[in-house]
Amino acid sequence: MTKCVFLDRDGVINRDRVDYAYDLQHFEMLPGVIEALLKLKQAGFLLVIVTNQSGIAKGIYKRHDMEACHQYMHAQTHHVIDKVYYAPHHPSVSESLTRKPDSLMFEKAIARFDIDTKKSWMIGDKERDITPAYNLGIPSILISPDPKDTKALFVVKDLAEAADRIFQKST
């Protein structure tokens, strides 16, 4: 079985924007992300992004805009991300079990890559990222400057610190 780090995109990999991160001019990788991803990959983790992209359903941007951002992200991260799952839905327009806090994106990855949920992690910046992992028995880490009640095992400031926590727990 495979060990995996599931990652939310906006707020974990790139800077989250109130008006969505879909334009390459505004798609800003966060500091330390590339190094953290490389370390996780070198430690043998599969890297899978699970991201809600509701701006597609709302008509704010198109899939090709998101895909251009993903191509840029892959290039910047030296292609260490193994798979990106995204939910283009929004409850006001269309319902879907893929959209977090539901767990279908996770379940698809678990089945496709034979992922061991006990040796895997989820890193997100919102509780809706943590909930599906918690429900599937995947330990999680919340990136947040102001943690409230959370099901996450750890609350950290960024992806680099999250990776350090994973390494501490894995040894």
Residue pLDDT, tens place only, 60-76: 999 999 999 999 999 99
Q: What SS3 state is found at 162?
A: helix
Cβ contacts of 106-109, under 8 Å, gap ≥ 24: 106/6, 106/50, 106/132, 106/133, 106/136, 106/138, 107/136, 109/4, 109/6, 109/48, 109/50, 109/83, 109/85
pLDDT at 170: 74
Positions marked catalytic: 8, 10
What is the mean pLDDT of the segment spanning 66-93?
Answer: 93
Q: What SS3 state is found at 168?
A: helix
Q: Which amino acid is at 140?
A: S
pLDDT at 171: 60
Confidence class for position 45, pLDDT limits 50, 70, 90 = very high
pLDDT at 31: 97
User: Phi and psi (nearest 5°) for 108?
Assistant: -60, -45
Confidence class for position 99, pLDDT limits 50, 70, 90 = confident
Residue 12 has pLDDT above 80, yes or no: yes
Domains, the chain: 4-170 (3.40.50.1000)
- Chain-centroid distance of CA 53 in Å reads 12
Residue 17 has pLDDT above 70, yes or no: yes
Residue 92 burial by Cβ neighbours in a 10 Å radius (0-12, 13-18, 19+): exposed
Rounded Cα gap, residues 112 and 115, in angstroms:
8
What is the mean pLDDT of the segment spanning 128-157?
Answer: 94
pLDDT at 90: 78
Confidence class for position 160, pLDDT limits 50, 70, 90 = very high
Other C-beta atoms closer than 10 Å to the C-beta of 119 total: 15
